[in-house]
Every structure is written in structure tokens, then in C-alpha cells.
């Protein structure tokens, strides 16, 4: 029932619409018009008041043909950069950009699939539950659209996020993530005339970072420092330095231990320096939770639904753990149980991003089969 040519044409159209984070308006209104033309009710929430996007999250309601519990599907509207004036190349069944921009398959492949699904459901008499599509903003800069989603507008309590690579891999486990910022306060002085009167904040920070466990801590935990700032002139002892990083793990207690390790290391290094005046030198660290881990057991009804749909299509699928975050982390934390489905996109967040049309078609058929199977299972 999936129309491959129509799916491909819609996908190509979506790729031409620029939608960087916070500037998703043009794309959002374009797809809203499609759903309205199909006769489906759609509306925006007020999340833009918090995210700073041009629009809120777009929600589409598709009535069911059966008295069944509703189910949702989600794709995000925004892309990373560079995305200006994309030139799309389709060759030998593969979509790419010209190498100057990202392609945008993340996540316009998911959007294209859901548009095609909506058209199929309009054209065919199928038994299916009520369906809700959620198109979020600002996913790429912190999952903000999902975090500020108006849950009162969502009836479904379970569903799927279309935001992964291989269409035959189902993500049922993802980690928690925290960002952290370490700040050091030293004292400035002329570096040539009286350096002994200063306290070098960069030196202190370097000693703090030197003994932190970075990289892969174990099979389910990582930590990274990605940004360092400090100083303004080479002839002045810097009185301020900072570092920003992140940590991820599938076990919350391991992240708590890493936070303690950072704080202990900071306190230890600061204690090595004599206080030359009140609060100097000093250091502080702040932690911010970005998303929370989730794990959907394989015996959960949602996983069984996927397995049943897989059997009907004859697909070989696997359930996998993912190390990245997505809207699914937020939804699961909010009580909206969901799995992550792949759409075929590859090398995302790079100018080498690509997607095979055959994988996009497989993903679309899989989503449709999940809907049909859900209709039969109730």
C-alpha cells in the first residue's frame, strides 16, 4: 500500500525546505497544510514560548476505525547545520547532498514516512487505532520541543519515535546524560612584572582536568570535556577559566559517582593553593540533566507488537542499545512509553549524510505494518 514513488517525491520536497533549530516554521506549516488537506485535525502547542522556535510542536490527530487505545508516532522538524541552500543528489538509489551541507534525512525521512502513512490510511479501509503524529521542534539542540510538549494534548500513552539509522534495528535502551561546567576563579596580575601576585586559573583548571576519567569509562559509561575557555591576553595571568563537558551512562548511579569524582578532584586541587584573599582561588561545578535513560523490556507489549509486525513482513529485526539521546528519552521519562525506529539515514550530523531509498521504503512499510498489527491486537 505504500506508494514508493510518492514517498520518494515527498522526501525530496522536504529535503529542499531548510529547517534549522528554532526556524522550523516553513516546514511545519507546509506539512500542516498536507494533513489539513487530507481532512485530519492538526494544531500547534505553545512550546515555542519556552523553546524560542518560530512555531510550537505540531500535533496531528487521525481518528481510528476501531475502539482501541491510541498510539503515537514522532519525528522532529529541525536539522543541524550547515543546511543553507541544499543541493540534493539522487544517484543509484541513494540520496546525498553535494557535500556542502547536511542532507537532512535526520529527520525528514521520518516526516516523509508519516506523511505517506497518513495518505495510505486516507485511501484504504484499514482496521487501525486512533493515531497521533507529534512533530517536535528544537530536538537537535537539547530535545527542547519534547521537553515542553503540552502533554494535555496527547491521548496516546505509547508509541514510536522515528529517529535512528537501520530500519531493522529497534532501539529499546538509551542512556542518561548530564552536562557539567567547571569554573575556576584566580587572580590577575602582570605576567612579566609581578606574576607571583597572580593565581593562574587556567593552570588550576588543567590540573583538575588532568586526572579526570575521560573517554570510555566502561561498556555503558562515557565522559568528555569538549570546551575550554580562559584568559584574554598572553601578558596577563588569567583570573578565570572554565570547561564544559558531558557524561552518559545507562546506570544513573555511575553518573552520580562521576559527579562526585569531579567535585572531589576540584576540591583537592583548590586545596593545594593558599588563599590570598577571600574566595580566591576558588572553584565550582554545576551539573545539568539533559535526558534520562530508558529501557523497554523485550517482553513488554510494545516490543511484542513490533515482533508481531516483523513476523508478518518477514523482516529480520534486532533490539539494540543506543548511546545517543532522542525525544524518546523525554517521552519515556514523562510516562509516554516508546521505542525508537530507524528510517535508513546514515552518517547523520555530517555533510556525508545519505539514505538509501530502499531503506526508506522498508521503514515506511514497517510503520504501516505496526499500525495494522496494532489494529488486530487491540
Annotated binding site for Zn(2+): 106, 140, 163
User: β-pairing, 294-295 with 318-321?
Assistant: unpaired
Residue 159 to residue 131: CA distance in whole angstroms: 9
Cβ atoms of 134 and 56 within 8 Å: the answer is no
Closest CA relative to residue 257, chosen from 268, 247, 269: 247
Under DSSP, the state recorded for 324 is S
Q: How far apart are CA 272 and CA 156, in angstroms?
A: 56
Residues annotated within the binding site are: 106, 140, 163
SS3 state at 148: coil
How far are the Cα atoms of 67, 287, 333, 358, 362 from residue 316, in angstroms, in the given order? 31, 41, 29, 15, 12
C-alpha cell at position 238:
588569567
Q: What angle do CA 241, 246, 251 make, to 5 degrees?
A: 145
Contact between residue 315 and residue 366 where contact means Cβ atoms under 8 Å apart: yes
Question: Which residues are identified as catalytic?
Answer: 139
Q: Are 46 and 87 in contact (CB under 8 A)?
A: no
CB-based burial label for 100 (10 Å; 0-12, 13-18, 19+): exposed
Amino acid at each position: 500500500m505504500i506508494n514508493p514513488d510518492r514517498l520518494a517525491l515527498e522526501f525530496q520536497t522536504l529535503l529542499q525546505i531548510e529547517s534549522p533549530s528554532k526556524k522550523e516554521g516553513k516546514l511545519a506549516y507546509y506539512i500542516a497544510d498536507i494533513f489539513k488537506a487530507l481532512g485530519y485535525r492538526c494544531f500547534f502547542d505553545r512550546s515555542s514560548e519556552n523553546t524560542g522556535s518560530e512555531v510550537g510542536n505540531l500535533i496531528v490527530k487521525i481518528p481510528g476505525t476501531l475502539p482501541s487505545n491510541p498510539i503515537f508516532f514522532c519525528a522532529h522538524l529541525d536539522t543541524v547545520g550547515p543546511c543553507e541552500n541544499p543541493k540534493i543528489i539522487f544517484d543509484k538509489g541513494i540520496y546525498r547532498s553535494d557535500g556542502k551541507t547536511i542532507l537532512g534525512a535526520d529527520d525528514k525521512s521520518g516526516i516523509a514516512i508519516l506523511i505517506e502513512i497518513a495518505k495510505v490510511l486516507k485511501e484504504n479501509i484499514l482496521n487501525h487505532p486512533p493515531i497521533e503524529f507529534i512533530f517536535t521542534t528544537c530536538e537537535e539542540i537539547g530535545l527542547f520541543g519534547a521537553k515542553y510538549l503540552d502533554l494535555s494534548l496527547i491521548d496516546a500513552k505509547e508509541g514510536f519515535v522515528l529517529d535512528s539509522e537501520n530500519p531493522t534495528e529497534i532501539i529499546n535502551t538509551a542512556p542518561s546524560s548530564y552536562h557539567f561546567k567547571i569554573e575556576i576563579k584566580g587572580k590577575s596580575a602582570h605576567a612579566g612584572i609581578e606574576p607571583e601576585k597572580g593565581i593562574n586559573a587556567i593552570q588550576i583548571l588543567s590540573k583538575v582536568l588532568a586526572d579526570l576519567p575521560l573517554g570510555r569509562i566502561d561498556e555503558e559509561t562515557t565522559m568528555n570535556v569538549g570546551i575550554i575557555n580562559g584568559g584574554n591576553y598572553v601578558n596577563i595571568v588569567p583570573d578565570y577559566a572554565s570547561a564544559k563537558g558531558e557524561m552518559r551512562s545507562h546506570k544513573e548511579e555511575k553518573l552520580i559517582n562521576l559527579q562526585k569524582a569531579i567535585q572531589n578532584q576540584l576540591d583537592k586541587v583548590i586545596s593545594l593553593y593558599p588563599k590570598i584573599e577571600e574566595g580566591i582561588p576558588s572553584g565550582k561545578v554545576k551539573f545539568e540533566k539533559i535526558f534520562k535513560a530508558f529501557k523497554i523490556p523485550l517482553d513488554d507489549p510494545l516490543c511484542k507488537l513490533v515482533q508481531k509486525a516483523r513476523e508478518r513482513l518477514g523482516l529480520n529485526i534486532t533490539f539494540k542499545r543506543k548511546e545517543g539521546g532522542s525525544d524518546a528519552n523525554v517521552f519515556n521519562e514523562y510516562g509516554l512509553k516508546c521505542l525508537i525506529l530507524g528510517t535508513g539515514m546514515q552518517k547523520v550530523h555530517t555533510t556525508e549524510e545519505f539514505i538509501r531509498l530502499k531503506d526508506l521504503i522498508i521503514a515506511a512499510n514497517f510503520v504501516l505494518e505496526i499500525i495494522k498489527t496494532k489494529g488486530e491486537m487491540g
